Amino acid sequence: MKRTIIKNAQVVNEGKITTCDLLIVGERIEKIASQITDNQAEIIDAEGHFLLPGLIDDQVHFRDPGLTHKATVYSESRAAVAGGITSFMDMPNTNPNTLTQQLLEEKYAIASKNSLANYSFFMGINQDNLEEALKTDNENVCGITDDGLYFSNDKGILANYPDYLDLLFSRTDTLVALHSEDDSIIRNNTLKYREIYGDNIPMDLHHRIRSEEACLTATKRVLDLAKKHNNRLHLFHISTASEANLFDNKTPVREKRITAEACVHHLWFTEKDYELLGANIKWNPSIKSQGDKEGLMKALIDNHIDIIATDHAPHTKEEKSGNYFKAMSGGPLVQHALPALLELYQQEKISLEKIVEKSSHNVSEIYRMIDRGYIREGYFADLVLVDLNNIWKVSSENILYKCGWSPFENQTFKSKILKTFVNGNLVYDAGVFDESIKGHRLKFSKIR
Ligand SMILES: [Zn+2]
């Protein structure tokens, strides 16, 4: 088995930063100590650099199968490992939508051949496939979700159907992850602005249409139901400060029955950025105010919000253009999420330890992942080595997404991803990929 020593890295893990050596044997971390010598091992000198557990992104749309003109598991997992993300969980709004166990397994088969990162795929749920969704295997599938399915079905956001949610929550012990916005409020807001502007609603009104009220109303409704059933609920991409305050911050993350997530774009952009970036920052839920951005960061720090994800959702440049109604919602993010978070660290908004807790440790905890999410002896060697003093600029030459653009284009970052290990394999090394070894299907403990 291959042996590698990472020497003198500043290891960011479990609330501490420690300078030490790390021995990888095969797929796993064999030893962590202040000094390790091993004659057979290849040595990587990491002096002055920081070693983090690879990020675990629980919300991506890699578009495979059926929408591969936007992205594929191959192209986006490549961008993910270049961005320090070593595991991802993908959404069911591929084509066909992932609404049967067979379609779900077909996605795993695609990933086993093409994914450079570790992977899991959510089982999709809508109002027609309850029995099928309930068959989901907790140990081999991350959870069930409605996220993104509203693009193909008017009744797609389950948060709007309390009776159905009541039934679902009463019958499942699988983690249910939801997209939470109120359709009727969004519809009324859309009508109001359409009367004024026709099809050419200014893009900066997106956050008045997909408004704070739409988020808060749906989230309150869903939380009331989940508290009644005490089922395992996770809410994706919380975008407002007022919702963030609805979540408990007293219970340790592993014991929480309800968990919440913030996304990198909601921690970075505000409504002021619509003027310059237009549809490139059109997301659902929308980018909101400065107060929301600051409130979300505060909620991460004080543990009302448990994890950080990307909601990586690529569209082609053409699909992102046209009027308010034509330009699609969503944008690519996996390659730039960690550099953006490290930039927020350098702006003193969040510590390195907290970044690691929210993007790796806690994701592992809330999904009950097996042997990942920490830098520990015996765990899989999913690692990212970063240089916090290596300035670079996002440009069309270094964007790896199949869609070829990024909402961060022309942004200068101070931190650079140097190397990424997935299961002990150095898959990304200063711009060069080792594509010979693919990622693993993620495993979870049965009881969530
Ligand atoms: Zn969503």
Q: Model confidence over 277-297: pLDDT tens digits?
A: 999 999 999 999 999 999 999
Interval between CA 279 and ligand 1 midpoint (Å): 17
Interval between CA 154 and ligand 1 midpoint (Å): 14
Q: Read off the pLDDT of each residue in 135-141 and give the average, rounded to a whole number.
A: 97
Interval between CA 145 and ligand 1 midpoint (Å): 10
Cα(249)–Cα(128) distance, integer angstroms: 35
Q: From residue 322, how far is each of 90, 282, 448 by CA, in Å?
A: 27, 12, 44
Q: Read off the pLDDT of each residue in 377-393 and give the average, rounded to a whole number.
A: 98
Instruction: Report the percentage of the chain scoring pLDDT > 70.
Output: 100
Is the pLDDT confidence value at 446 over 90? no
Is the pLDDT confidence value at 156 over 90? no
**What's the pLDDT at 153?**
73
Interval between CA 329 and ligand 1 midpoint (Å): 10
Phi and psi torsions of 153, nearest 5°: -155, 125
Q: Read off the pLDDT of each residue in 117-141 and give the average, rounded to a whole number.
A: 97
Q: Read off the pLDDT of each residue in 154-179 and give the average, rounded to a whole number.
A: 93
Contacts of 31 (CB under 8 A, 6+ apart): 22, 23, 377
Interval between CA 45 and ligand 1 midpoint (Å): 41
Interval between CA 96 and ligand 1 midpoint (Å): 18
Interval between CA 187 and ligand 1 midpoint (Å): 17
Interval between CA 395 and ligand 1 midpoint (Å): 27
Is the pLDDT confidence value at 208 over 90? yes
Q: From residue 159, how far is each of 46, 279, 307 by CA, in Å?
A: 47, 26, 21
**What's the pLDDT at 380?**
99
Q: From residue 385, how far is each of 12, 281, 362, 394, 424 by CA, in Å?
A: 10, 29, 20, 19, 13
pLDDT tens string 8-61 = 999 999 999 999 999 999 999 999 999 999 999 999 999 999 999 999 999 999
Interval between CA 239 and ligand 1 midpoint (Å): 11
Interval between CA 303 and ligand 1 midpoint (Å): 21
Is the pLDDT confidence value at 444 over 80? yes
Interval between CA 21 and ligand 1 midpoint (Å): 40
Partners of 31 in the β-ladder: 23
Cα(204)–Cα(223) distance, integer angstroms: 29
Interval between CA 215 and ligand 1 midpoint (Å): 12
Q: Read off the pLDDT of each residue in 144-167 and give the average, rounded to a whole number.
A: 90
Cα(206)–Cα(196) distance, integer angstroms: 14
Averaged confidence pLDDT in the chain = 97
Interval between CA 114 and ligand 1 midpoint (Å): 25
Place 313 in a pLDDT band, splitting at 50, 70 and 90. very high
**What's the pLDDT at 337?**
98
Distance between first and last Cα of the chain = 34
Interval between CA 147 and ligand 1 midpoint (Å): 5
Interval between CA 158 and ligand 1 midpoint (Å): 11
Count of beta carbons in the 10 Å neighbourhood of residue 347: 9
To which H or E segment does residue 43 belong? strand 42-45
Is the pLDDT confidence value at 154 over 80? no
Q: Read off the pLDDT of each residue in 175-185 and give the average, rounded to a whole number.
A: 97
Cα(302)–Cα(320) distance, integer angstroms: 35
Q: From residue 106, how far is each of 110, 123, 157, 439 by CA, in Å?
A: 6, 12, 24, 16
Instruction: Report the percentage of the chain scoring pLDDT > 90.
Output: 98
Interval between CA 313 and ligand 1 midpoint (Å): 9
Q: Read off the pLDDT of each residue in 169-186 and give the average, rounded to a whole number.
A: 96
Pairing, β 50-53 against β 3-13: parallel
Q: Read off the pLDDT of each residue in 250-273 and give the average, rounded to a whole number.
A: 98
**What's the pLDDT at 304?**
98
**What's the pLDDT at 155?**
73
Is the pLDDT confidence value at 325 over 90? yes
Interval between CA 87 and ligand 1 midpoint (Å): 19
**What's the pLDDT at 200?**
95
Interval between CA 268 and ligand 1 midpoint (Å): 18
Is the pLDDT confidence value at 448 over 80? no
Place 323 in a pLDDT band, splitting at 50, 70 and 90. very high
Interval between CA 250 and ligand 1 midpoint (Å): 26
Cα(30)–Cα(23) distance, integer angstroms: 6
Contact 70, 403 (CB under 8 A): yes
- Nearest by Cα to 218 from 235, 198, 201, 199: 235
Is the pLDDT confidence value at 150 over 90? no
Interval between CA 333 and ligand 1 midpoint (Å): 14
Place 151 in a pLDDT band, splitting at 50, 70 and 90. confident
Q: Read off the pLDDT of each residue in 63-87 and give the average, rounded to a whole number.
A: 98
Question: What's the predicted TM-score (pTM) here?
Answer: 0.98
Interval between CA 149 and ligand 1 midpoint (Å): 9
